[in-house]
Amino acid sequence: MTKTLAFVLYPGITPLDLVGPLQVLSALAQIDPSFEVVVVGKGLTPLSTDTPLKLTPSHTFGQVAESFALIVPGGTEPTLAALADEPLLEWIRQVARTAEVVGSVCTGSLILGAAGLLYGRRATTHWGFRDLLAKFGATPVAERWVQDGPVLTAAGVSAGIDMALHLVERLAGEQTARMVQLLIEYDPQPPLGGIDWRSADLDFFKPHARTMVESALAGHPALLARMTT
């Protein structure tokens, strides 16, 4: 039986949140045809991102009623606005009921939270929004990726690649995961070295995060109050 690995696409996402793990899992599908990868949206029209690039779903919500795995990418203000997108949340809830893996990248975990899928679970997201996970009953964790039962959440943007490689190992074994990593030449060597989290001033971003939340949810006072009190 073919196992469908579904990514959800909505307006304004950060492309790498989707494309990073999408590339990893697409490589898995090329190696093992028992997996298929789809990108699902409300329609089939190109959607804006937070870059000049537009992305187009391969399938609509109506065409994908269930999947083996579901991955939700994140972004900035448009993702926060999606916390009030009930058709999107309802499709995610529907697919999550039978999915064996429910995942997210970056602030996509907040959408999982808004859909009621993180209550009582450990989860992560972009460091600038991590404290908001508690608003949905989750336990925020400062890790690159976190697995809690069927839920797999990744931190900001590039962490989605790490999460996806972990998922490949889980689904197809270490040898296949290593082959996928080799195929995409994933061997990070940032020119400025790794992030020194001990010296990072994480508080400077909090006012910016609150401003985005207030702007994104201005038309949804109850949800805004929940996110800011």
Q: For residue 116, is it left (φ>0), alpha (ψ between -120 and 50) or beta?
A: left
Query: Residue 138 in contact with residue 119, Cβ under 8 Å?
Result: yes
Q: Which two tokens stand for residue 19?
A: 């494309």
Say how far apart CA 19 and CA 30 lie, in whole Å: 16
Q: Are strands 69-72 and 59-60 parallel, antiparallel or unpaired?
A: unpaired
Say how far apart CA 148 and CA 151 lie, in whole Å: 5
- Which whole-number Å values give the CA distances from 145 to 42, 64, 84, 159, 220, in the listed order? 28, 26, 25, 7, 30
Reply yes or no on whether 106 is catalytic: yes
Please pick, among 8, 64, 105, 106, the residue that the annotation labels catalytic.
106
Active site residues per annotation:
106
